[in-house]
Each structure stands twice: as C-alpha cells, then as structure tokens.
C-alpha cells in the first residue's frame, strides 16, 4: 500500500456539507493509497508540516486554496528529498485548480487527480520565496490578502470584487523602478506589476494566450495606467481575455528579471493570493524548473510542451 498524506486547510473556501476525510479515505484506498490526514491550524502551518513528512511518502495532496498549495510547494523545495505533490482546490477563486482542469465537485476532482499524470512544471522564485502561478504588487494586487476571510466564506469570489471596487476609488500610486532583463535595463513609473506562469489570473481565463507551464519562461507585465477611466477600459479588455491589447501595459517573457524600486514599497507583494513576508527595494525573480506535480490529464496538452508523462514508479 502506497503512503499518501493529505494536508487539509479547513478554513479555505466554504464549509463542506459532508465528511471529506471519510469520503477521501474510501477513494484513496480503492486506488492503493493508505491516507493520513493532517489539518492546518494557523498561517504557514502547511509549510511546517511538509518539511517534517517522512521521505518514504509516495504522494502529498494539498486540499485548500492557492495559498495553501504555495506553502506546500515552498516547504517541499526546501527539503533535501523532495516529495511528489498534488493539489485539490478548496479556496475562493481557485485559479490554479481551474487552470489545471478541475471542476467544483471535490470528490470528482480527487478521481481526476488519481487518474492523472505527473508533469514537470516551472515554479517562480522571488528572492527567498516561491510562487506557483503569480506574484504581483501595486494597484488591486493587495486585494487577495486584505479581503476578510469571513466575507470570503459568506459570498465567495464576490468578496474580492467588493474589495476591488473599494481599491478602485483609492488614489493610484506609482512605483518609480528600474528593471533588468538580460542585458537590457528599463526605467519607468508603474501602477502595478504582475509576474506569472499561468493562463488564468484573478479569475480571468486566458489572461495570456498559449501559455506553457514548462517552457522555462515567466510572463512579466508592467502597467503605467493611472486614470480611472483608463483603468476601467483596461479591465474590460482584460475580461475579454487579451492583455496584449491594453494601452499602457508592457509585457516581457523571460526566465529571470531583477526589479529595483527607488523607494521601499509600502505595500507588500502578493504571491499566489497571499502576502509575501519580506518588503525590500530589490527583487530577483527567476524560474525553478522540473518540479514534479501530479495533476489531471484534462488540460495537460494545452499547458505543457512535452506531452509524454514523467516516469514515476510511485504511481
């Protein structure tokens, strides 16, 4: 019997109406996995849990929001022996899970996962931290981590819209910064910055076209828009799914970028929906490649360049 540990964040998303542990156990046993459930109790607890999991564990499944999965990926990358990870979304927006092809039924998602494939994907590294799909700073980018959890539990994704509307009417600050990509250096004043490895961000599908999670590249977006009317126009274009057509937005594709702020930003970076702990003037952001993740087969052909499954005797 293979060993599977489920790290479960009960505070993510809305309360389930059934016993997840009982339902998951039955399905996992039928697939040859002996499950052990560990429940997170506080912020960053999942990161601590993953660091102390035995090396002979065959699979670790994150059940929670994007932030919970970020903690597990971060802790795993800091281990001497990295474990095979998987994720089942149970958050408010669930950008990662939706991008990978999961639906809203948790038990169906477990079935999709256990019948899935192991893929090697890129993970973003920002100074000493990591992000699975997105990191950003500036206008609107603090909404995911300032939105009250109680409000998210009551109204779901609409809670972010409420906070986003509030943020819209606040003064738009500009960051005077310099960034370097390869041998090229740029300088400007920007209202927000988004660095990602994803085709779904903030609930917007096809944010970018033809994104690959294993191409060794990050998509970098700098926005110089400040006027409210221009922000409204840009959001409408973004909702239509073509960020490249938004005036005042500058896009790069690279495996590494260094961003130097003239002044230390008052706001903190948002990484996978959570607040980055550090607050500095200089950020070096790069790709960590070949991180093994078990995921559903549904969207693999669209998200990866290499379609052959990664050999893994654990499966």
pLDDT at residue number 182 = 94
68 Cβ neighbours under 8 A, 6+ residues apart: 7, 9, 12, 40, 46, 62, 91
Using a pLDDT cut of 90, give the percent of the chain over it: 62
pLDDT at residue number 314 = 43
Res 168 pLDDT > 70: no
Interval 120-153: pLDDT, tens: 999 999 998 999 999 999 877 766 656 656 655 5
Res 269 pLDDT > 80: yes
Of 212, 194, 207, nearest in space to 257 by CA = 194
Residue 185: strand pairing partners: 180
Locate the DSSP E strands across 40-145. Answer: 59-64, 85-89, 117-126, 129-131, 134-138
Sign of the C-alpha dihedral, residues 304, 309, 314, 315? positive
Res 83 pLDDT > 60: yes
Average pLDDT of the chain, as a whole number: 86
The pTM of the full predicted model, rounded to 2 decimals, is 0.86
Question: Residue 236 — very low, low, confident or very high, per pLDDT cuts 50/70/90?
Answer: low
pLDDT at residue number 116 = 97
Res 96 pLDDT > 60: yes
DSSP character for 63? E
Q: What mean pLDDT is predicted for residues 244-267?
A: 89
218, 219, 224, 225 alpha-carbon torsion, rounded to 10°: -140
pLDDT at residue number 20 = 87
Q: What mean pLDDT is predicted for residues 17-43?
A: 91
**End-to-end CA, the chain:** 11
DSSP H or E segment with residue 107: helix 106-114
Question: Residue 231 — very low, low, confident or very high, per pLDDT cuts 50/70/90?
Answer: low
Q: What mean pLDDT is predicted for residues 25-33?
A: 95
Q: Pick 68 or 312 by higher pLDDT.
A: 68
Question: Residue 226 — very low, low, confident or very high, per pLDDT cuts 50/70/90?
Answer: confident
Per-residue b or e along 109-121, where b marks 16 or more CB atoms closer than 10 Å to that residue's CB:
bbebbbebbbbeb
Interval 170-187: pLDDT, tens: 677 889 999 999 999 999
Interval 172-225: pLDDT, tens: 788 999 999 999 999 999 999 999 999 888 877 888 888 999 999 999 999 887
């Amino acid at each position: 019997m293979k060993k599977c540990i489920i790290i479960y964040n009960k505070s993510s998303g809305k309360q389930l109406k059934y016993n997840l542990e009982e339902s998951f156990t039955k399905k996992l046993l039928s697939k040859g996995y002996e499950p052990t459930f560990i429940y997170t109790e506080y912020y960053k607890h999942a990161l601590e849990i993953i660091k102390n999991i035995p090396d002979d564990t065959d699979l670790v499944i994150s059940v929670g929001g994007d932030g919970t999965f970020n903690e597990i990926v971060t802790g795993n990358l800091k281990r001497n022996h990295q474990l095979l990870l998987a994720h089942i979304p149970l958050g408010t927006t669930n950008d990662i899970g939706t991008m990978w092809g999961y639906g809203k039924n948790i038990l169906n998602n477990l079935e999709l996962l256990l019948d899935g494939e192991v893929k090697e994907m890129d993970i973003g590294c920002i100074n000493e931290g990591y992000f699975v799909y997105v990191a950003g700073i500036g206008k609107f980018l603090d909404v995911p981590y300032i939105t009250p959890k109680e409000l998210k539990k009551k109204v779901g994704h609409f809670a972010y819209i409420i906070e986003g509307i509030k943020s819209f009417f606040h003064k738009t600050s500009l960051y005077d910064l310099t960034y370097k990509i390869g041998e090229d250096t740029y300088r400007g004043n920007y209202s927000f910055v988004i660095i990602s490895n994803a085709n779904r961000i903030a609930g917007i599908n096809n944010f970018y076209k033809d994104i690959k999670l294993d191409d060794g590249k990050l998509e970098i977006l700098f926005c110089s828009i400040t006027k409210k009317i221009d922000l409204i126009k840009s959001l409408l274009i973004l909702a239509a799914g073509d960020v490249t057509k938004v005036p005042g937005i500058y896009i790069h594709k690279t495996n590494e970028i260094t961003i130097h702020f003239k002044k230390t930003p008052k706001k903190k970076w948002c990484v996978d929906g959570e607040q980055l702990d550090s607050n500095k003037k200089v950020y070096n952001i790069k790709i960590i490649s070949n991180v093994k993740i078990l995921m559903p087969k549904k969207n693999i052909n669209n998200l990866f360049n290499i379609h052959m499954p990664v050999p893994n005797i654990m499966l």
